[in-house]
Amino acid sequence: MESFSPKLHLPILIFGVAAPFVIPGVTIQIAVLWVMVLFALTWDILGGQMGYNSLGNILFFGSGMYISAVVQVSMFADVAEYTASSGAVDFKYTDAQYFWGLGLGVIAAGIGSAVLAAAIGWTMFGLRGPYFAIGTLGIALTAGELMGTWSWVGAGGGLAMPVFPGSADGKSMMFYFLCFFAAIATYLFCSWLYSTRFGLAINAIRDDEQKAEAMGIHTLRYKTIAWSAAAFFLGISGALFGNITGFVEPLEVAFPVATFGIFMVAMSLLGGKGTLWGPILGAILFHFLKEFTWTYFLGWQWVALGVLIIVNVVFFQQGIMGWLMDKFPERFGIVVDKKEAAE
C-alpha cells in the first residue's frame, strides 16, 4: 500500500485542481465525481472494513440535504411560508446571509446526519448480514416516502434552495472545490482511521464479531461511531449536492435509493471493498463508465448498470484492488514466501 498510494496522490491532486480551469464545460460532472468518491469511501467504512453491507446509506445523503436546506432557509425566512409560496414570493438573500447560511447548513447537515446514524444504529446494528442490508434499504425507502408527505418541507413538490448570489460559473467553481475538499477530507479521515486501533477494531468486527466481542471490543459502540463518521461526510455531501442542484425533492434528488444508493455499493465493489484505494478507483472508473453509457446508450444505461453489478459480483468479486493484490502482492507490502507459494 505504502509504495502505491503516494504515486497516485499527486496526479489526482493536480487533476482535481486543474480540471475546472482546463475543461470548464464539465465542472459539475467532475464535482459529482468527487461526490461519488466520497460515497464509495464512506460506504466502504461499513461495507468493506466492518463487514456491514448497507443498502441504505443514501439516507444520510438525503437527511444532510434536507437539514442544510431547512437551516439555510430558516435563518432568514419562515420555512412553512417559504415552502408554501414555492418560489412565488421572492426571498432575497444578501451575500452575507447566503454564505453564513451555507456554512452553517453544511456543518449542521454533517452533525445532524451523524446523530441520526447513531440513533438508527442503535436499533439496526442488532441485524446481521443480509438482514442489515434489507433493513437499511427499508429505512432509506421509508425516509423518501415520508419526506414526500411532509408539507412543512414541501412534501413531494420539493424545496428550492436559496439562490447563489453570483454568476453560474462562480457557483459551479465554488461548489466544485467544496466537493473536492470534502472528498479529500474523507480520504484523509479514512486513511487515518484505518491506521488506528479503531480501524483494527472494525476489521475485527468484520472478521468475526463474536470473537471481537469476546476479546473485549465494545462492538455496538464501534459500529455506531463508524456509521456516524460515514454519515457525517455523507451529510456534508448531501448539503453540497442539494446546493448544486438548487432544488431538493424527496424521491429523485434527496433519497435516490435506486441510483446513488446503489452506485455507492457498485463503486466500492468494482474497486475492491475493504481497501482504501479500491473505492476511489472504483468511483472514478464507474463515473466515467456511467457518463459514457448515459450519453451514448440512453435508455439502456440501467441494463448496463445491472449487468455491471451482476458481472462484478459473480465473476470479479475481489474488485480491481483485490485483483492487483493477487497479481502483485509484493507491491502492497505482502511478503510471499516463494517456497510455500510453490508448493
Write out the residues near another protein by the rule CB under 8 A. Answer: 53, 55, 123, 126-127, 129-131, 133-135, 137-139, 141-142, 145-146, 148-149, 156, 258, 262, 265, 269, 299-300, 302-303, 305-310, 313-315, 317
Are the beta carbons of 257 and 144 closer than 8 angstroms? yes
Spatial CA neighbour of 174 closest among 161, 185, 165: 165
Query: How many residues are given for the chain?
Result: 343
Distance CA 49, CA 272 (A): 11
Question: Measured from the CB of residue 250, what is the shortest distance to another protein in angstroms?
Answer: 11
Which of 192, 300 has the CB closer to another protein?
Answer: 300
Strand partners, 159: 248
**C-beta of 259: minimal distance to another protein in Å?**
10
Distance of closest approach, residue 315 Cβ to another protein, in angstroms: 8
Q: How far apart are CA 53 and CA 128, in angstroms?
A: 9
Q: Which residues have CB under 8 Å from 281's CB, separation 6+? A: 271, 272, 320, 321
Give 186 or 268: the residue with its C-beta nearer to another protein: 268
20 vs 24: CA distance, rounded Å? 5
Smallest distance from the beta carbon of 246 to another protein, in angstroms? 25
Closest contact distance (angstroms) between CB of 310 and another protein is: 4
Q: How many CA atoms lie within 13 Å of 317's alpha carbon, on the beta-carbon side?
A: 2
Q: How far apart are CA 298 and CA 309, in angstroms?
A: 18
Closest approach of another protein to the CB of residue 8, in Å: 27
Which residues does residue 247 pair with via DSSP β-bridges, in sequence order? 160
Given the complex with another protein, which of 43 and 180 has the nearer CB atom? Answer: 43
Based on CB atoms, which residue is closest to another protein, 236 or 257? 257
Angle, to 10 degrees, between the axis of helix 260-271 and the axis of helix 301-315? 40
Nearer to another protein, 65 or 140 (CB): 140
Phi and psi at 160, nearest 5°, equal -85, 135
The Cα–Cα gap between 36 and 38 comes to 5
CA–CA separation, 35 vs 20, rounded Å? Answer: 15
Which residues have C-beta within 8 Å of that of residue 157, sequence separation ≥ 6? 83, 86, 249
Nearest residue (CB) to another protein, 128 versus 331: 128
Q: b/e for 112-139, b at 16 or more Cβ within 10 A?
A: bbbbbbeebbeebbeeeeeebbebbbeb
Name the minimum Å distance from CB 317 to another protein. 7
For residues 105 and 158, which CB has a smaller minimum distance to another protein in the complex? 158
**Residue number, 178 or 265, with CB nearest to another protein:** 265
CB of residue 136 vs another protein: minimum separation in angstroms? 9
